[in-house]
Amino acid sequence: MTIDDKNFGDHPGWQKDMIKGNTSSFFGAGIQEILDALPFYVMLIDKHHRILLANKSTREALQLEPHEIIGEYCPLVVHGIEEGTYPGCPLEEAVEKGCSVQREHFDEKHQRWLRIAIYPTGTWSAGGEEIYFHMVEDITEKKELMEALQETKEIYRKLFESSSRHEKK
C-alpha cells in the first residue's frame, strides 16, 4: 500500500514499521521527509482523532518517538484530554462539511495564538476512514505585530485629526 493508491493507514504491519522508524515504505516514498521539513506542527489523522503520522516538529514538541504517537488519540497525546476534543480543534467541522477548515485560536494554557487547520486529503485508510492533514502554526508574533500596527495607526489618526482642527482655527 502506498500513497499513490490512496489507500493507507491500517496496514497490519504499520505500527511495527513505525517502531523501526520506517514510515516511507508504508506512506509512500519521502512523505515523512517532506512533512519533517515543515517548521510547524503537522499530523495525518482520521476523523476519530487517531494519529497516523506526525512530523519532526510535532514529535520534538511532544518529546515523543513515532511509535509513541502513531495510532494514539490526538487530544490525549497532545492536550492530555482523555475524552472529548480540544476546544480549538476544527476536525469535526471539516468532517461534517467535507471541506477544509482553518481558524485562529488563543491557547490560554500557553498564552499563544495558533492557526489551526484541517484539510481533507482525498485519501483513505485501508479501513475506509478519510485521512486529514492537520496543521498547527504559532502565529503569536504575527498577531502582536498586527496589534502594534493598529495602535500606531490609531495614534497617527488622532494626530492627524488634532492637527486638522488646529489648521481650521
Q: Same domain for 56 and 112? A: yes
In this prediction, residue 128 carries a pLDDT of 85
**% the chain with pLDDT above 70:** 80
Residue bearing the bigger pLDDT, 166 or 25: 166
Containing domain of residue 154, as a range? Answer: 141-169
Q: Same domain for 90 and 55? A: yes
Query: What letter represents residue 145's amino acid?
Result: L
Q: Averaged over 58-80, what is the pLDDT?
A: 92
Instruction: Give the model confidence (pLDDT) of 113-146 as tens digits.
Output: 999 999 999 998 777 889 999 999 999 999 999 9
Q: Is the pLDDT of residue 157 over 70?
A: yes
Residue bearing the bigger pLDDT, 169 or 61: 61
Specify the CATH number for the domain of residue 85.
3.30.450.20
Judged by DSSP in three states, 51 sits in strand
Q: Same domain for 126 and 150? A: no
In this prediction, residue 166 carries a pLDDT of 67
Number of structural domains found in the chain = 2
In this prediction, residue 124 carries a pLDDT of 87
Residue 103 is inside which H or E element, if any? Answer: strand 101-107
Q: Same domain for 129 and 151? A: no
Q: Same domain for 134 and 149? A: no
